[in-house]
Structure 1
Amino acid sequence: MAMSPINILIVVPACNEEDSIGDTISSIRQSIAHCSKAYLNATIMVVCDSCEDDTYFEAERALVGCSSLVVKVNFRNVGRTRDWGVRLGLSHQPDTDWIAFTDADSLVLNDWMSRQVEAYRRGYDAFFGRVQFDSSSPVLEQFRSNYQSQTHRYIHGANMGLSLSAYLKVGGIPLLTAHEDKFLVDRLEEQNLNLFWDSSEAVQTSVRMVGRAPEGFAATLAQFAQSYTSFI
């Protein structure tokens, strides 16, 4: 018996990412195509938050020919931007089964979408995966070594997803300027939901040290670089 397709909403928050959003969208589209069309119907939602460049137009250009929506907001808040994208996306695609997230400075690999689809098929309520870095340096090699040796869980907004039922059960994405992904995990666990922790690095993320979120991944890298330089 053939499996019924999964309806997936992919939400990408973006703030002044005109140089990268096109490649991000291209990688998402390629990852969707990598899945059998019998497995999913996907809509890409790009939410341009407080952009002062051409992110909106670059996103529209990259999304031609696929199910998508690009909107502008002025939140200066990544958690609120993610959540707005979900809520607006659901108004256009109310039969959504699964919501996936990545970031506008990241590239998803070909198996990114299929990994989340598999988690959903296996009955998981949410998915959290690791990331790899898009460049190298002595500082980054040390950071990568520390990152890969850690035994605690990896939580990145650039590589996560959850079922619609889980999203509704926890009341949406926390409306925070940073660490909304980590607080989301706390809410999911408080509800005793079933989380899948993926050890693969199915997303390549930017290693810039001045980011858009005040306490985001870029800030973590910058703090590590400062301590590394002081140590040597």
Structure 2
Amino acid sequence: MTRPGAVAVVVPARDEEVLLPACLDSVAAAVDALRSEHPRVRARVFVVLDACRDRSAQVVAGRAGVVALTTDAGCVGVARATGVEAAAAWSASSGRAPLWVASTDADSVVPRHWLGEHVRWAADGLDLVVGTVEPRPGDLSPAALSAWHQRHTTADGHDHVHGANLGFTLAAYRSAGGFPPVPTHEDVALVAAARAAGVATLATGAVPVVTSGRRTARAPGGFAHYLGSLGA
């Protein structure tokens, strides 16, 4: 793939009024850094408010370059897919293909150089980048944090999949059949299908995303449930 003409950040959110501001602040910083490095690449953020009953919509309202979408599905697979489809329509209407999609979560904070690295990987010919996450240290007990590090590696070639740190071309997404409408592990299913389709893939720990270590789950059997299994 040549350097993308557009980058879309997709963020599903379900009752995330507390953590969403920090997420969007970090994404805005990453967008600013991307524009400084690649001024010809357009960027837009799509927040999918999925069955929200709190003030998440007010958090998003008025933020420049951020599009709010709504769904009542209560399903993260549907929410992520909704965001990608909106991003695809935006890219097509703006004439800025090809599109690169960066996926994160509303309880996560991305590093400033996150999008710049994704664009570099896309320009190098990659179609799918699978990144890593790190739980916010203060959210876990010392024992749980130690257990996390014992079970995880941030080295290239790792075998982890996190929707909070994914990047892919729209073409790769289509070839994989998109995010399935499932309440959890939609990220794992997409990556498995993309790899089966033969897309050029990189699993890297170069740009980790910091995510919440909470144990109150938004998705059944998801990341919060996993942290609970560590004794968090």
Alignment TM-score > 0.5, same fold = yes
Alignment of 1:26-175 (within 5 A): 26-35=25-34, 36-38=37-39, 40-61=41-62, 63=63, 65-66=64-65, 68-94=66-92, 95-136=97-138, 137-149=141-153, 152-175=158-181
Q: Secondary structure at the match of 2:77?
A: helix
Range 117-126 or range 217-226, more displaced: 217-226
How far is 1:8 from its partner? 0.8
How far is 1:96 from its partner? 4.9
Percent sequence identity over matched residues? 29
Report the CA distance shift for 1:93/1:132 in structure 2 as closer, same or farther (over 3 A): same
Contact 1:90 1:96 (8 Å CA) reproduced: no
Specify every segment of 5 or more residues in structure 1 that has no aligned partner in the other structure, as ranges: 227-232
Contact 2:13 2:106 (8 Å CA) reproduced: yes
Specify every segment of 5 or more residues in structure 2 that has no aligned partner in the other structure, as ranges: none
In the alignment, the residues of structure 2 paired with residue 52 and residue 31 of structure 1 have an alpha-carbon distance, to the nearest angstrom, of: 28
How far is 1:152 from its partner? 4.5
Report the CA distance shift for 1:37/1:189 in structure 2 as closer, same or farther (over 3 A): closer
Contact 2:132 2:207 (8 Å CA) reproduced: yes
Tell me the residue number matched to 2:12.
13
Report the CA distance shift for 1:85/1:4 in structure 2 as closer, same or farther (over 3 A): closer
How far is 1:90 from its partner? 1.8
In the alignment, the residues of structure 1 paired with residue 147 and residue 98 of structure 2 have an alpha-carbon distance, to the nearest angstrom, of: 37
TM-score (norm 2): 0.89
Contact 1:18 1:55 (8 Å CA) reproduced: yes
1:140-179 CA distance string (max 9 Å, x none): 3222322335884121000001101111112211221100
In the alignment, the residues of structure 1 paired with residue 80 and residue 50 of structure 2 have an alpha-carbon distance, to the nearest angstrom, of: 10
Q: Secondary structure at the match of 1:225?
A: coil
Aligned residues: 221
Q: Secondary structure at the match of 1:93?
A: helix
Query: Stretches of 4+ moved more than 4 A in 1?
Result: 149-152
In the alignment, the residues of structure 2 paired with residue 100 and residue 149 of structure 1 have an alpha-carbon distance, to the nearest angstrom, of: 21
In the alignment, the residues of structure 2 paired with residue 144 and residue 72 of structure 1 have an alpha-carbon distance, to the nearest angstrom, of: 34
In the alignment, the residues of structure 1 paired with residue 164 and residue 70 of structure 2 have an alpha-carbon distance, to the nearest angstrom, of: 20
Contact 2:4 2:98 (8 Å CA) reproduced: no
Alpha-carbon RMSD: 1.9
